[in-house]
Amino acid sequence: MQADFGPQQTQLTNQQNGLNAQLSAFGTINSDVSSIGSALSTLSSLTPSYNASSTNPALVGVSSDGTATPGSYNVSVTALAQAQSLASTTYSSPTSTIGTGTLTFQFGSYNSSTTPPTFTANSGTNPTSITIDSSNNTLQGLATAINQANFGVSATVVNNGSGYQLALTSATGSSNELNITSSSSSLNAFTYTGSNSTTALSQTVAAQDAQFSINGIAATSQTNTVTNAVSGVSLTLAGLTNGAPVAVTVGPNTSAATQAVQSFVNAYNGFAQDVSKYASYDSKTKTAGILLGDPTVRNLVNLFQNGVVQNISGAPANYQNLMALGITANANGTLSLNTSTLNSALTSNYTGVVSALQTIGNQLGTTVNSMTGANGIITARTNTINQQLTNIQTQFNQLSTQMQQEQASLMQEYTAMDTIVANLKNTSSYLSAQLGSLPSASSSSSSSSSGG
């Protein structure tokens, strides 16, 4: 049977192994092309964006949301925003007992030109009341109650070396001064109405707005984070400039475009290297790649090569294709990116080059879809290979059936032969027995002689 069916089995096995190797290779190439598609998607989604930088971020930090208008700004800081801080008189312990009642807090600003100062509450804000009773009528209990109310005032008990004081801190800005009143005289020590008192809270740090200028235009801010002075730019005021303005520059975010192009080149080179691995001939080892001469692979390479050199619709005159943006083809089929050329193009015509990259991303993206989509050429090729594998499996099954039938036929022949041999043995035994029962010739001769 081996002589009859062995060569067919070997041939089918070799064909099956070869097709499985091709299927695996196309799986790798399909993954490579998908990676190229992801890189192209990034290119197609590029939009002009702008970064902001500061010559002295320790004094003026800066960030951009990408929508800022390019420009240069000189920023001078003459005052930083401060939060008002208040402190109580000194107590002997954090657990010192205080009065009971209700403290009411409100944010606003004082007019210190009047006596006593007049308070104007911030519009749109409501007072916050804190109740102090026998469960929390200690210095620490009051601090905890204020913090738990979470209304924008932080409280802590500070050891000043000779005792303990309650310290309150509001939000930054001159409109976040505190007005604190009490429903009970036993809590008057924790009230504040705009002036210091030995029997109430005293101001230790005055509320203050940040004061700064941009290109000589004076401005103020309740906080040290300024988000509305320059559109799309956030300034973080961290120190006084003392007459030496900090230069803030908003310019094109060229790194995002450069990284997107480099990612495309890297993805394409992964594809090119795998194509070389599977579809080339190694003259040293005299080994052919599993996809050498495959028309689908040639088609893939041609589609990409044509896409790289094709003109970009609507691109600026000097940047009609990727080669003009610094991408060149190498002898081994890979691509190289000259970042200096690309950055020069981006600096010269930022929005035009970004638009060109968007277009090439869309154009080559369509090419990728023609390769990997449901009706793509890679999909069609792998479907063909899978069908061939199915056909080979069918041939294996048919061959197995033939072998089983041949084996059954041989078994029948062997059984018939065994029966014949057994019958012959039985006949032989019978004849031997019959022959053994006949008188021997010598015995007959002796009897005849005695009679004569």
Task: Give yes or no for a contact between 107 and 122, defined as CB atoms under 8 angstroms apart.
Answer: yes
pLDDT in tens, 43-86: 999 999 999 999 999 999 999 988 888 999 999 999 999 999 99
* DSSP state for residue 91 in the 8-state scheme: B
This prediction has a pTM of 0.67
Q: Which of the given ranges, 10-14, 56-60, 114-118, 229-233, has the highest pLDDT on average? A: 56-60
Cα distances from 62 to residues 82, 242, 282, in angstroms, run 20, 19, 56
Tokens 């036929």 label which residue? Answer: 409
Residues 348 and 37 sit within 8 Å (Cβ to Cβ): no
pLDDT tens track for 259-270: 999 999 999 999
- pLDDT value of position 36: 94
Q: Which residues contact 119 (CB under 8 A, 6 or more apart)?
A: 106, 108, 109, 110, 111, 177, 179, 193, 194
Average pLDDT over residues 170-178: 97
pLDDT confidence of residue 100: 98
Between CA 308 and CA 329 the distance in angstroms is 9
Q: Is the pLDDT of residue 119 over 60?
A: yes
CB 232 within 8 A of CB 308: no
Half-sphere exposure of 171 (CA within 13 A, CB side): 14
Residue 416 above 80 pLDDT?
no
Pairing mode of beta strands 83-87, 202-205: antiparallel
With bands split at pLDDT 50, 70 and 90, how would you rate the model's confidence at 210? very high
Asked whether residue 320 carries a pLDDT value surpassing 90, the answer given is no
CA 155 vs. chain centroid, Å, equals: 41
What's the confidence (pLDDT) of residue 441?
A: 53
Strand spans (E) along 240-363: 246-252, 281-282, 287-288, 327-329, 335-337
pLDDT at 398: 75
Compute the distance between CA of residue 152 and CA of residue 10 in angstroms, rounded to an integer. Answer: 82
Distance CA 162, CA 274 (A): 77
Interatomic CA distance for residues 309 and 267, integer angstroms: 17
Mean pLDDT of 287-305: 89
Say yes or no to pLDDT of 452 above 60. Answer: no
Six-digit token string for 400: 């197995």
Q: Distance between CA atoms of 130 and 143, rounded to whole angstroms?
A: 10
Report whether pLDDT(88) > 90.
Answer: yes
More confident residue, 3 or 377: 377
Asked whether the beta carbons of 151 and 169 are under 8 A apart, the reply is no
Identity at 243, one-letter amino acid code: G
Tell me how far apart the alpha carbons of residues 231 and 248 are, in angstroms, rounded to a whole number: 13
325-369 per-position pLDDT tens digit: 999 999 999 999 999 999 999 999 999 999 999 999 998 998 888
**What's residue 5's pLDDT?**
58
